[in-house]
Amino acid sequence: MKTLIVGAKGQLGRGLQATAPENVKLVCVDVDELDITDADTVQAFVTRETPDLILNAAAYTAVDKAEAEEELALAINGTATGTLAAAARSVGARFVHVSTDFVFDGMSGVPYAPDAPTGPLSAYGRTKLAGEQLAGPDALIVRTAWVYAPTGGNFVRTMLRLMGERPEVRVVADQIGTPTYAPGLAAALWTMAGAGVAGIHHYTDSGAASWYDFAVAIQEEGLAAGLLQQEARIIPIPTSDYPTPATRPHYSVLDKASTFAALGGPTPHWRANLRVMMQAIKAEG
């Protein structure tokens, strides 16, 4: 099976390459090789490569910056998704698109089902919702949240750095979601795509946490793995004490029942995967 991975240099793109089945021939591109905002270029590339599957891991992810660059974010997260989906259909390829918990308003008291009403609070969320709508009904759309990996810029690596530099860190405690280990998400996308799953589904690790809970766990696991040498004081703060240009949902836990059914069981708990990630960083030295 020939598979085109778009956004191959990002956290998820690298995870997709690392977890690819043995029978898959990969074509990996990032912005340097393919400008997904150029419809003619995308169509020509897909026509030439004729993949059986296109995995879209490309995204404009600068949540706060998107408030001032919504047009650019929409071009990448929205319009380009429609372009890739149309190109996939033109060659008979399946299309897989990754979306976000930020399509919800965070007012729910229970995990969001895939068919729950959307209501994004930010430009980033609006542009990702547009991408879902443009992907088409035949696509597999997987919403995820709080993604991290051993490499790249993410909350875990930022916390490890700050905890190693400062005696004290302040972390928001009233935003609740679920961390997601990128390699686990990548493996799930391969499984679901291979099984012919379509429609909107949710994937994160199991469990729930605030950013404060996550930070506390990062420090505990970092100390246990020898990645941190001393404890920093972690202070929980409300969102109001850490204002940002983009409004974030206070609660964005995702209901993953349909995904668990497709995968044959639940995902690992976020704390277990955090430990896996720490060992991966330690192994890399």
> Do 143 and 188 form a contact (C-beta atoms < 8 A)?
no
- Catalytic residue among 60, 112, 124, 181, which? 124
Strands 176-177 and 209-210: antiparallel
> Do 76 and 60 form a contact (C-beta atoms < 8 A)?
yes
- What span, in angstroms and rounded, lies between the C-alpha atoms of 39 and 278? 40
Is 124 among the catalytic positions?
Answer: yes
> Do 180 and 205 form a contact (C-beta atoms < 8 A)?
yes
Q: What is the DSSP string of 177-192?
A: E--EEHHHHHHHHHHH
> Do 94 and 53 form a contact (C-beta atoms < 8 A)?
yes
> Do 277 and 181 form a contact (C-beta atoms < 8 A)?
yes
DSSP bridge partners of 5:
28, 55
Exposure pattern of 189-227 as b/e (b: 16+ CB <10 Å)?
Answer: bbbbbeeebbebbbbbbebbbbbbbbbbbbbbbbeebeb
CA 278 to chain centre: 19
DSSP bridge partners of 142:
98, 201
SS3 93: coil
- SS3 letters for 138-178? CCEEEEECCEECCCCCCHHHHHHHHHHHCCEEEEECCCEEC
The catalytic residue positions are 124
